[in-house]
């Protein structure tokens, strides 16, 4: 059994083809820009939801996150089999941090491979190396977040050191896995010349990097914070301009990385 907080069908940014993405609840990071604050706490949560009907506002309670078994999840995945097969898609496990529920994730990946699905794991990279080792044989593609290279800044903006994360990325590369790097681009946080150069320098030491995705910061998750009783730490954050994102993209491309803006 594990806790899932969302299922997205027809996902086109979480790996090749059209996919179904399963979101596992719980994350050991607390990134300032996180647009899924409902993913951070590992247990199901009760939150208040406001509905407007005929000019009146009604408040109702909803539970975010549900404890489910592997077979229940696989039934949902099976409904998308034709779409996945015809588009060259598959199933992606995301979060939160899916590795936080490592046994559940392993069972889901094994069940997916048994059915012949292409599998992706979208990870922050913060997990025990032995847990990565277990899922490697059943994971076709890793979507690996790389946020900030400077350890102190990483701690400031995510709450954790990046050492284990960088070690795990190297570990996957050494194990000849196919990896897509995902970089949230947050203005004045990680878009500096220095951070981009250090990121490129590190990635050039690795093998198996099939693509770099640049994910520009946006305000989408801001309104959710209040509902979850959390403080939004970037109320005045401005978005990166198209020109700035294009300039970062060119830097990666000039170093030979296939680079995309968006997932």
Task: Specify the residue, 124 or 162, whose C-beta has the smaller distance to ligand SF4.
Answer: 124
Q: Torsion-angle region of residue 106: left (phi > 0), alpha (psi -120 to 50) or beta?
A: alpha
Residue (96 or 216) nearer to ligand SF4, CB: 96
| Residues 13-52: x where in contact with ligand SF4 by CB under 6 A, - otherwise, as a string | --------------x-xxx--x-x--xx------------
Q: Which is nearer to ligand SF4, 74 or 126 (CB)?
A: 126
**Least Å from the CB of residue 81 to ligand SF4:** 28
Smallest separation (angstroms) from ligand SF4 to the CB of 30? 5
In the complex, what is the shortest distance from the CB of residue 32 to ligand SF4, in angstroms, rounded to a whole number?
9
Contact by Cβ (8 Å): 64, 45? yes
- # residues near ligand SF4 by CB under 6 A: 12
Distances, alpha carbon 85 to alpha carbons 96, 123, 162, 255, in Å: 27, 24, 37, 34
User: In the complex with ligand SF4, which residue's Cβ is closer, 6 or 80?
Assistant: 6
d(CA 21, CA 134): 21
Question: Please, what is the minimum distance in Å from the beta carbon of residue 133 to ligand SF4?
Answer: 21
Q: Is 92 in the site for ligand SF4 (CB under 6 A)?
A: no
Find the shortest distance in angstroms from Cβ 98 to ligand SF4.
10
Between CA 87 and CA 109 the distance in angstroms is 20
Range 108-127, binding ligand SF4 (CB under 6 A)? 124
DSSP string, 176-233: T-EEEEEEEE-TTTT-SHHHHHHHHHHHTT-S-EEEEEEEE--STTTTHHHHTT---S
Write out the binding residues for ligand SF4, residues 138-167 only, by CB under 6 A: none
Tell me the Ramachandran region of residue 116: left when phi exceeds 0, alpha when psi lies from -120 to 50, beta otherwise.
Answer: left
Rounded CA separation 240/257 (Å) = 21
Q: Does 106 bind ligand SF4 (CB under 6 A)?
A: no
List residues near ligand SF4 by CB under 6 A: 27, 29-31, 34, 36, 39-40, 95-97, 124
């Amino acid at each position: 059994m594990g806790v899932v907080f969302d299922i997205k069908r027809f996902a086109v940014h979480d790996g090749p083809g059209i996919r179904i993405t399963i979101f596992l609840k719980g994350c050991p990071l607390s990134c300032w820009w996180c647009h899924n604050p409902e993913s951070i706490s590992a247990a199901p949560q009760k939150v208040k939801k406001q509905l407007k009907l005929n000019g009146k506002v009604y408040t109702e309670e909803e539970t975010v996150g549900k404890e489910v078994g592997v077979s229940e999840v696989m039934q949902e995945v099976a409904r998308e089999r034709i779409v996945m097969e015809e588009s060259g898609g598959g199933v992606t496990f995301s979060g939160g941090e899916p590795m936080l529920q490592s046994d559940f994730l392993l069972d889901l990946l094994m069940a997916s491979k048994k059915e012949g699905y292409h599998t992706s794991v979208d990870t922050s990279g913060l997990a025990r190396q032995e847990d990565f080792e277990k899922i490697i044989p059943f994971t076709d593609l890793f979507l690996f977040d790389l946020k900030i290279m400077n350890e102190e800044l990483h701690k400031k903006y995510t709450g954790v050191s990046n050492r284990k994360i960088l070690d795990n990325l190297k570990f996957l590369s050494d194990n000849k896995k196919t990896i897509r790097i995902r970089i949230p681009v947050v203005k004045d946080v990680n878009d500096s010349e220095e951070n981009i150069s250090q990121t490129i320098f590190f990635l050039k030491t690795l093998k198996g990097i099939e693509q770099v995705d640049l994910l520009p910061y946006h305000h989408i998750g801001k309104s959710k914070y209040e509902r979850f009783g959390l403080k939004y730490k970037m109320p005045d954050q401005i978005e990166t301009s198209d020109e700035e994102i294009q300039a970062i993209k060119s830097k990666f491309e000039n170093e030979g990385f296939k680079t995309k803006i968006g997932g």
